[in-house]
């Protein structure tokens, strides 16, 4: 087995941070008044980017980190996001914007961030959600229903298990990964690109189910 050495065709070295999307998002964040970006990732995702900015602009910038560790890869890092936001709000009471920036590590473990705190008031804060159209519509309907005092029309209560990845199996053995968006004792809605046939029997995780509706956002199933 031979080995061939190929010389470089360029004289310089490309800094990998120049192609890093979270670095670009942090660069945008430092230019906004009363804003501190919160980077959802390891400390290095913030430290090295801050060093790059400091070397270039010859000044320091405030960029926060959720500081993910090994336990977050197993149990998820959403708690770190909550702690990071509360720490920033308490330490910097004049903040008006906290963009939460995901990184390679947080996206690999499935920590999808759905919104941004855009305004803070005594005892509460306002969020701007970044979601696909179907989920935005359901969220808007839920907010309108809560504001009007109307009770949710459900035969069984919703369970608190949103945005969980689950394996879906067809009757012929084919498998696909879906995101559990809405679930109750009777059924669930899963966000996924897989095609189904209404009435088809499938298996959602360890639960047998029947497809009752298919849409561009995903599939609705009834448990049995």
Q: Look up 104 and say whether it is catalytic.
A: yes
Closest CA to 117 of 91, 147, 81, 143: 81
Q: Which of 32, 104, 185, 197 is catalytic?
A: 104
Q: Look up 3 and say whether it is catalytic.
A: no
Q: Which of 108, 118, 185, 198 is catalytic?
A: 108
Task: Supply the DSSP string of 119-175, one letter for each residue.
Answer: EEETTEEEEEE---HHHHHHHHHHHHHHHHTPPP--SSPBPS--SEEEEEE-TTS-E
The Cα 157–Cα 60 span in angstroms is 50
**Burial group, residue 35, by CB count within 10 angstroms (0-12, 13-18, 19+):** middle
The Cα 100–Cα 113 span in angstroms is 7
Q: Which two tokens stand for residue 171?
A: 């009757």
Catalytic residue annotation: 104, 108
């Amino acid at each position: 087995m031979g080995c061939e050495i190929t010389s470089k065709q360029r004289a310089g070295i490309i800094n990998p941070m120049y192609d890093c999307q979270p670095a670009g998002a942090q660069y945008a964040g430092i230019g906004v008044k009363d804003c501190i970006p919160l980077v959802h990732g390891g400390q290095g995702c913030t430290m090295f980017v801050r060093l790059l900015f400091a070397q270039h602009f010859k000044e320091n910038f405030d960029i926060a980190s959720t500081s993910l560790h090994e336990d977050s890869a197993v149990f998820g890092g959403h708690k770190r996001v909550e702690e990071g936001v509360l720490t920033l709000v308490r330490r910097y009471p004049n903040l008006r914007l906290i963009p939460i920036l995901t990184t390679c590590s947080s996206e690999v473990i499935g920590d999808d961030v759905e919104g941004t705190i855009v305004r803070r008031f005594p005892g509460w804060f306002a969020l701007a959600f970044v979601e696909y159209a179907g989920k935005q519509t359901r969220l808007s309907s839920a907010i309108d229903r809560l504001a009007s005092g109307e009770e949710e029309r459900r035969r069984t209560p919703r369970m608190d298990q949103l945005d969980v990845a689950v394996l879906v199996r067809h009757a012929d053995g084919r498998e696909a990964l879906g995101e559990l968006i809405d679930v109750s004792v009777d059924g669930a809605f899963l966000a996924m690109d897989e095609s189904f046939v209404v009435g088809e029997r499938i298996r959602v995780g360890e639960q047998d189910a029947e497809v009752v509706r298919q849409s561009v956002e995903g599939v609705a199933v009834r448990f049995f």
